[in-house]
Amino acid sequence: MGLALKDAEYHCYGDYLRWADNNYELIDGEAYFMAPAPNLEHQEVAGDVYFQLRSALVGKKCRAFIAPIDVRLPQEDEAEESINTVVQPDVLVVCDSNKLDRRGVCGAPDWILEVLSPLTASHDQIKKRELYECHGVREYWLIHPMDRVLTVYRLQNGEYGKADIFELTGSTAISVLDGVLIEWDDLVSRLPAADE
């Protein structure tokens, strides 16, 4: 099962700003209804990773954010209201302060994490991976909390090559952030068992 489309209409950021219920992401003008409130696993993973990042980035130019925050991904020279792609990654890092404004982020973050759920897995692994690659997100992480697996895509020559896959044990370095590691053992110990 995938995420439902709002309708068959083409939408832009100007439309998005007028919707009373902003529970959507825009990708190439299509509005996708976002999943219902995340489960406890999702919140544990996203919250813990954000906390570790925020602590690791104190005093550095890069800043960590957690959803909900709008990330607008414009085409070159696209007017603000005409932007047709607005997403809300679970956790992200932006190192260029020129991409930050009161509405959120305008331009590709340096690093993005999506926590997978059965409802969003194919959307995050296919549509968003292609989107983030196209817009130049330097590193994209997908966490499969039930399987305790991390999939990492790194941008090289404008493309994501073959993914690296890790177990959620020990620690994993974020290659685009010098000296930043995400520690897994304490986090994983708090997650429900896969059969619960």
What is the length of the chain?
Answer: 196
Tell me if 106 sits within 8 A of 72, measured CB to CB: yes
* Residue indicated by tokens 């759920």: 117
pLDDT in single tens digits along all 196 residues of the chain:
456 677 888 999 998 888 877 678 888 998 888 766 678 899 999 999 999 999 999 999 999 999 999 999 998 888 888 999 999 999 999 999 999 999 999 999 999 999 998 777 888 898 899 999 999 999 999 999 989 999 999 999 999 999 999 999 999 999 999 999 999 999 999 988 766 5
The b-or-e profile of 81-116 (16+ CB within 10 A means b, else e) is eebbbbbbbbbbbbbeeebeeeebbbebbbbbbbbb
Long-range contacts of 146-152 (CB under 8 A, 24+ apart): 146/41, 146/194, 147/194, 148/188, 148/191, 148/194, 151/125
Contacts of 85 (CB under 8 A, 6+ apart): 26, 27, 28, 29, 72, 73, 74, 131, 135
Distance CA 54, CA 39 (A): 22
How close are the terminal C-alpha atoms of the chain, in Å?
22
CA angle 154, 93, 57 (to 5 degrees): 115
SS3 for 164?
strand
Q: DSSP H helical segments within 1-62, as ranges?
A: 13-18, 40-56
**What are the CA-CA distances from residue 141 to residues 87, 107, 125, 132 (Å)?**
15, 18, 10, 11
DSSP state of 125: I
